[in-house]
Amino acid sequence: MRTQAAVSHGPDTGFTMEDIEISDPRPDEILVRLTATGVCHTDLATKAMLPAGIPAVFGHEGAGVVEAIGAEVTGVRPGDHVVLSYSSCGSCTRCATGHRSYCERFEALNAAGRRPDGSATLTGRDGDAWSSFFGQSSFARHAITTRENVVVVPEGTDLVTAAPMGCGFQTGAGSVANVLRPGPDSSLVVFGTGGVGMAAVMAGAALGVGTIVAVDLSEQRLDLAAQVGATHTLDGAGEDTVGRIRDITSGGATHAFDTTGVPTVIRDAARALAPLGSLALVAVGPTDAGIDVRDLIGYGKTVRGCIEGDANPQDFVPLLLDWHAQGRFPVDRIVTAFPFEEINEAVAAMKTDVVKPVLTF
């Protein structure tokens, strides 16, 4: 069937709206008509890495309505409202032990640009498109996906607000709730208050963390962070960020979370930890952050990486929806909707103070 997609033809070009052929769902696949799709920095970072001339359809925070299912699909039916998340095999050792975001086939299922068998789900005017991004490629009006990607949600769910729960909000909130696990007497510092960082701030507040410090360069974003759960805010451009954090937290933060990937920020985050403190990293930047190993060893600090908040979407997306319904996860405060056709405007707005653009269909 034909659908419309926002197609990238290179790292230095914008997205163009094009009619494109989408394959019928195979026996183990699901066809979803998109209602909303979040725009994530991962989309743009991957776009920047693909060579010019390769037509590509990104998008990995889709939400919509199931239109058709393959004969082997269970637990989903046409008409279901769904949030789409990352793909996993469900059967490897890591998946079986509850760590699906570290699936042994994660790269092949989410970042190969094709189905695992090498076939494309989308075909455009220049031939097969680089697609199946995170098992969905949801910068399009329809997406082919699988049961592992699909989280069925109540019919009344606001899919515009829920769409980023499949990745960005899941990453930020999951890194706090599943990895760092701070308690009421803890102190949490979040470096960078984009969509992921804001979700981390909200998760900290939802968990009742006593001290939550948001660090950013944008006064507007810091003001918003204070509205959604931060107890303190710091301008990262100010002097002695580490000292100020230590003052606020009475000697050092028990937990820290970096969303920037900037080596100097990561070093500050590690230095700002209290003895036995923990730092989680989610942003991909330079491979060498230059962390002082003596500081880690001498004070028993922990630094670890995290993908998708170490979350199983089937369990974690419903939790985020429950938090939102209870007013404990006010992500509607940070979402800005853009018509699908204005995807380039949405991308440009991410460079200003729009925290989380979501495309609507």
Q: What angle do CA 195, 10, 23 make, to 5 degrees?
A: 85
pLDDT of residue 289: 86
The C-alpha atoms of residue 256 and residue 188 are separated, in whole angstroms, by 5
pLDDT of residue 125: 86
**pTM of the prediction?**
0.96
The C-alpha atoms of residue 248 and residue 252 are separated, in whole angstroms, by 8
Q: Return the closest-CA partner of residue 49 out of 103, 12, 77.
A: 12
pLDDT of residue 288: 85
Largest CA distance in the chain: 61
Dihedral sign for Cα atoms in the order 142, 147, 151, 153: positive
Q: What is the dihedral of CA 307, 311, 317, 322, to 10 degrees?
A: -120
Contact 227, 202 (CB under 8 A): no
Q: Return the closest-CA partner of residue 285 out of 300, 297, 267, 299.
A: 267
pLDDT of residue 160: 98
Contact 331, 199 (CB under 8 A): yes
The answer regarding whether domain 2-166+330-360 maps to CATH 1.10.287.3510 reads: no
Mark residue 96 as left, alpha or beta (left: phi above 0; alpha: psi -120 to 50; beta: remaining).
alpha
CA-to-CA separations, 320 to 83, 163, 211, 277, in angstroms, rounded:
12, 11, 21, 26
Q: Where in the chain is the domain with CATH 3.90.180.10?
A: 2-166+330-360
pLDDT of residue 284: 85
Q: What are phi and psi of 3, to 5 degrees?
A: -145, 180
Tens-binned pLDDT, residue by residue, of the chain (361 aa): 999 999 999 999 999 999 999 999 999 999 999 999 999 999 999 999 999 999 999 999 999 999 999 999 999 999 999 999 999 999 999 999 999 999 999 999 999 999 999 999 999 988 999 999 999 999 999 999 999 999 999 999 999 999 999 999 999 999 999 999 999 999 999 999 999 999 999 999 999 999 999 999 999 999 999 999 999 999 999 999 999 999 999 999 999 999 999 999 999 999 999 999 999 999 988 888 889 999 999 999 999 999 999 999 999 999 999 999 999 999 999 999 999 999 999 999 998 889 999 999 9
Q: Could you give the count of Cα atoms lying within 13 Å of 129 in the half-sphere of its Cβ?
A: 30
Q: Where in the chain is the domain with CATH 3.40.50.720?
A: 171-309
Q: DSSP per residue over 244-283, as a string?
A: HHHHHTTS-EEEEEE-S--HHHHHHHHHTEEEEEEEEE--
Q: Return the closest-CA partner of residue 148 out of 40, 28, 26.
A: 28
The C-alpha atoms of residue 23 and residue 108 are separated, in whole angstroms, by 19
Q: Which amino acid is at 71?
A: A
Contact 148, 87 (CB under 8 A): yes
Domain 171-309, CATH: 3.40.50.720
Residues forming beta bridges with residue 7, ordered by sequence position:
16
